Structure formats: C-alpha cells, structure tokens
Amino acid sequence: MILVLMLVVSLAGALGLGLLPGVRRAAAVAVAITISGVVLALACGAAATFDRTRAGEAQLGVDASWIPQLGVRFHIGVDGLSLPLVVLTALLTTLCCIHAIRYVPEPGNPATYLAVLLGLETALLATFMSLDLVLFFAAFESVLLPMYFLIAIWGGPARRAAATKFVLFTLLGSTLMLVAIFALRVHTGSSDIVTMAAAHGAGIPTGVQNALFLGFLAAFAIKAPLWPFHSWLPDAHSEAPTAGSVLLAGVLLKMGTYGLLRLAVPVLPHAAHTFAPLLGGLATVAIIYGAFCCLAQTDVKRLIAYSSVGHMGFILLGIATLTPLGISAALFGNVAHGVITSLLFFLAGSLKERDHTYSIAELGPGLLKRAPRLGAVLIFGLIATLGLPGLAGFWGEVLAIFASFRPANGLPLVAFRFFMGAALLGTLLAAGYALWLIQRVVTGRPREGAVATEDISRVEWAAWAPLIGLTLVLGLYPDLVLGVSRAAALAVLGAQQ
C-alpha cells in the first residue's frame, strides 16, 4: 500500500498545484517541498520495510484487477532492481523542489513548474513500480509529457527544437517497444512481468525472441542512451532547466537500463545472449566516444551530458556481460551516476545563475578564487565523475570492467576482453577531461576585472549536501545498494545460473 500511497500523494500534489496556477511562489514551493518530502519519507519507509533477504522478489506490492477484458492488471511492487531507483527518484525530486526556493527558471510561474516536477515524479515512480507490461508502457510513455513541458517551457533559447527532438526520438523507440509488447502479450497470453520473467523465455521461439528483443532494445537504447542513439541527450540537457537536467540524467536515463533488466533480459534470455556482444560493443564505443566528445566540448553542460553517455556505457557493458557481477555493477552504476551527475548538473546550473553562461572559456579560470566553496564542490563532483575509488562512481565502473573480464558462458571471450581494455582506457580519458575542466574553470588566476561571485547559498547547501554525502557513503559502503542488487541480479539471470 505504501507504494500506492506514494503515487497518490505525488499525483495529488501535481494536480493540486497545476489547478492553482496563481499561487504565490513561496506557498507553491512550500507545498511542493512538503509533498515531495512526504513521498521521500514514504520511499525511505518502503526501503526500511523492504525485506533484504528476499530482494529478488517483488515486495510491498498491490495486484488489483484493472482492465479485465484485456487481462491487464494494476500490479505494482518493488524489488532489488527498482527499490534504489524509487528512492533516488523521490530524493532527486525533493532536492529539485528545494532548489526552486532559490531559483525558478524563466518564464516563472512556479506553481505550474512545480506541478510538472511532481507529475514527472509520479510517472517515474510508476515506471519503476509497474509489474504489468501495459501499465509499464503507459507509465514509461507518460514520463515524456512532463519532461517535454519542462524543456519546452522552462528551457533555454533553442528549447523547442531540443524538446521536439527528445520526444520524437523517444517515441520512435517506444513505438517499436509497443509492437514488441503486443507480440509478447500474444505469445505468452499474459501481461504480468513477474510471470513472464519467471518463465525465462520458455515457449517463445528463438526467432521471435530476437525480434522482440530488438524492439525492446530500440526503446531502451534510445532512453539510456546507447551510442549511436544518444544525440538527443546533449541538446536536451543544454536546453533543459537545471531541475530538468537533474531528473533527466539522474533518473530518466536509468529507465533505459532498468527496462533492459526488468523486461528484455529476463523475459527474453536467449535473445539477450545473442545480442550481448552487440550491446557490449556499442557500450564500449559509447565509453570512448563520450570521453572524446567531452574533451572537445566548450560548454559545461554539454560536457556533463556527454560524460553521461560514457557512464551509461559502463552500465550497459555491465549488463552485456550477463553475469551477476556485471548486473550488480550496472545496478550500482545506475544509482551512483544518478547521484554524481545530478550534483554536477546542479553545479552547472548554479554557475549559469551566477555568470549567465555555460561556456567554459567564459566561466573560468579561477572560480576557486571567486567562490572558493563552489569551486571546491565542483572539484569534488568532477573527481567523483572520473571514478575515483572511495567515491560512488568507482564501484560501478571497476566492477563492470571486472565482469567483462569473464562474461557469461558462451559469450565471445576475446571480444569482451577487448571491451575491458577499451573501457579501462575510457577511465583514463575520463580523468583527462575532468581534470582539464578543473584546470580551465576552477583553478588558475581569474581574469582582470573578474569579481568575486556569490558563494554557495544555504538553499544550495541543502540541495547538494545529500548528494555529496551519498557520494561518500556509497563510495565507502557500496553494500547499501549492492546488498539488494545481488539477489536482484541473480533473479534477472535466473535460468542462466
């Protein structure tokens, strides 16, 4: 019931704020923080009551009849795959609402803005909770709507084009997934994901499995995004408002990797095995390619966006190994990337609020002189993003690399060893672009005439401190997440063990 309550509260908040556009900013923000705070508290409650010893099974669920004519049920629940993402969603939304105390992007209208954020939260939570194919698809698609508005209304100068590209690109994948979902429904006679996952592809001919897998892969690869379907991401990020970028990178991208692990891999294991080398190869390209694109960027936000392409590459590489180690690494990477990249997007937003630009050349050098604490946190964030051990980013990457040393039986060993080497090289390039960015923006002597700028405000501390703390805690005690992902990873691979 606690999950339903989360959905109801956030949806009610969204509708309430949406229907009262004229509310004063302070009141709207207070309401939004309360609502998202309640949802976060519920999410923490769910995490607390979650039975970690049975992390592979769906828990706290509700399974009610919804559309009996089609056999579609309102089936929700969380397991080790989704629980960390549910908590992450609730956390990031709360932080975005806190951030709105300080800043609501042009053209203002805070009540509607916050309503859209809460609507996005509802849709995201629903996506991660659904255990019914049709429900999942509905939730997966409904995420698009608030995100579209967030970019198209509160975005930068080229927001319309970016928002349109984002929506059309994603819809292309979704359409293919819809076909796959119909076909799957026909073949299995059920739309219950748990049942289908338990069957592990039994009764679906190999050819059909492959076709269906490609359908799912299209949707999830675009969402993740996997190279070469990533080109909507830098545009969307560079135009989206800060909160949009935070949720986009922090949670939306994870829908892709989550979908692969929730649907594609367990339901169609044979096809997953067939396409794993392809997935691994594209993921490896993404790692290297993303890093090189980062080196060439002149815009902070686009740089962070491309770094996301690389990081998601590590996560997808972990999935492609089809081993418990790799999938645990991917699940951890999901959360770690969500935390670290959100922090970086918050930082980029704050830089823009102060200096009104994202351009690396104009922001730097010498931020550390002009705003010492802001500079220090930026260094921290960038060091975290390069995968320093002891911080959250490390485990997901290094374990994906470890996993690709020995992928699942039957996968081409040589190819994966090659991926491993390339991924390692990617970590070196990541260090290169992160440290170079520090050199160009944070350190150095400020230009003549540059003035001290506002250092981190209280609101910003409130929004960032949880992310900084989590980066450290997850880095030193990854079992916080890995504790639940291990059983989930085994469940995903079930039949192959």
Residues that bind other proteins (CB under 8 A): 161, 164-165, 168-169, 228, 230-232, 235, 289, 292-293, 295-297, 323-326, 328-329, 332, 366, 368-369, 383, 388-390, 394-395, 398-399, 401-403, 405-406, 420-421, 424-425, 427-428, 431-432, 435-436, 438-439, 443-445, 476-479, 482-483, 485-486, 489
Q: CA nearest 244: which of 143, 138, 363?
A: 143
Helix (H, G, I), strand (E, B) or coil at 75: strand
| Minimum distance, C-beta of residue 268 to other proteins, in the bound complex (Å) | 22
Which lies closer to other proteins via its Cβ, residue 164 or residue 190? 164
Which lies closer to other proteins via its Cβ, residue 75 or residue 165? 165
**E-strand spans in 132-210?**
none
| Minimum distance, C-beta of residue 88 to other proteins, in the bound complex (Å) | 18
| Minimum distance, C-beta of residue 368 to other proteins, in the bound complex (Å) | 7
Q: How far is CA 446 from CA 369, 440, 451, in A?
A: 7, 11, 8
CA distance 265 to 267: 6
Which lies closer to other proteins via its Cβ, residue 109 or residue 321? 321
| Minimum distance, C-beta of residue 232 to other proteins, in the bound complex (Å) | 7
Which lies closer to other proteins via its Cβ, residue 149 or residue 227? 227
Q: CA nearest 325: which of 397, 271, 388?
A: 397
Q: How far is CA 338 from CA 104, 248, 311, 332, 412, in A?
A: 22, 9, 10, 10, 31
User: 3-state SS of 403-447?
Assistant: HHHCCCCCCCHHHHHHHHHHHHHHHHHHHHHHHHHHHHHHCCCCC
Cβ–Cβ < 8 Å for 56, 198: no
Which lies closer to other proteins via its Cβ, residue 139 or residue 429? 429
Does 225 sit behind a cis peptide bond, omega within 30 degrees of 0 on the bond before it? yes
| Minimum distance, C-beta of residue 166 to other proteins, in the bound complex (Å) | 11
| Minimum distance, C-beta of residue 320 to other proteins, in the bound complex (Å) | 15
Which lies closer to other proteins via its Cβ, residue 125 or residue 162? 162
Helix (H, G, I), strand (E, B) or coil at 189: coil
Query: How many Å from the N-terminal Cα to the C-terminal Cα in the chain?
Result: 33
| Minimum distance, C-beta of residue 70 to other proteins, in the bound complex (Å) | 33
Which lies closer to other proteins via its Cβ, residue 56 or residue 105? 56
Does 228 sit behind a cis peptide bond, omega within 30 degrees of 0 on the bond before it? yes
Q: 136: which 2 tokens?
A: 């999942």
CA distance 405 to 203: 32
| Minimum distance, C-beta of residue 321 to other proteins, in the bound complex (Å) | 10
Which lies closer to other proteins via its Cβ, residue 21 or residue 390? 390
